[in-house]
Amino acid sequence: MPLSTIVKLLQEAKHVVIFTGAGVSAESGIPTFRDALTGLWSRFDPAKLATAEAFREDPSLCWGWYESRRLKVLQAQPNAAHLAIAELAKHVPKLTVLTQNVDDLHERAGSRDVIHLHGSLHSPRCIDCGNAHMAPLSSDELPVDGCRLEPPRCEVCHGYIRPGVVWFGEMLPDEAWDAAFAASGACDLFFSIGTSGVVYPAAELPLRALGAGAKVIHVNPVRFEISSQEHFLHGPATVIQTLIHEAFG
């Protein structure tokens, strides 16, 4: 799809949805969940650290791993794609950001009311009663790679505080999913950026938009199969979104 066509679609759009995946955060230096673990963490399978059962079996191992991930996020900076997405919101009537990422880089770039489909590393809660934990560790208390760390205890029931992310086998947050599904069905232009559409149910969102009559554009450095009704922009999110922003702005 030519850049001029995308600009025309943006000029005509009443509601734009931006749906982002791990590829966007990866360009800020945050490893994707499927990347090989490094250092002392290399002997662990990340998938086996991302379940409630794993957390209950070894809370300090699981909490330490997620806090080391959070440290990487705190050290990272929003990239050009995050910034271009935030800037785009100033030039269209309505823009909704949906993300599978558990960091806060969209917010730090200036996006507002971001819908987090998979939760957030910055919103820990009790594994037993679900009470939100309002006092996360500061960056200078976080572990280095390979360190175990005892989780805090809940002030309500004294259960362990767990990461506020969606683990394997868990449902997406109802409020986030309902809002994302509604936005996808109400938009007229849908960008899917940095995600290959293999993680369900989030991967249903581009199909929801397409079925409701929206134009769907995928942005990814790795090509994957799409329907004849969708469009593909081949390249890194930082490059593609910057080009779109410069052409449209």
Say how many C-beta atoms besides its own lie within 10 A of residue 178's C-beta.
12
Q: Which residues of 182-218 are buried (b: 16+ CB within 10 A; e: fewer)?
A: ebbebbbbbbbbbbbbeeeebbebbebbbeeebbbbb
Does 231 qualify as catalytic in the annotation? Answer: no
Q: Which tokens belong to 240?
A: 């593609």
- Catalytic residue chosen out of the listed positions 106, 116, 118, 133: 118
Q: Give yes or no for a contact between 231 and 216, defined as CB atoms under 8 angstroms apart.
A: yes
Closest by Cα among 180, 182, 233 to 212: 182
Q: Is the dihedral of CA 226, 228, 231, 232 positive or negative?
A: positive
Q: Give yes or no for a contact between 237 and 27, defined as CB atoms under 8 angstroms apart.
A: yes
Which residues are tagged catalytic?
118
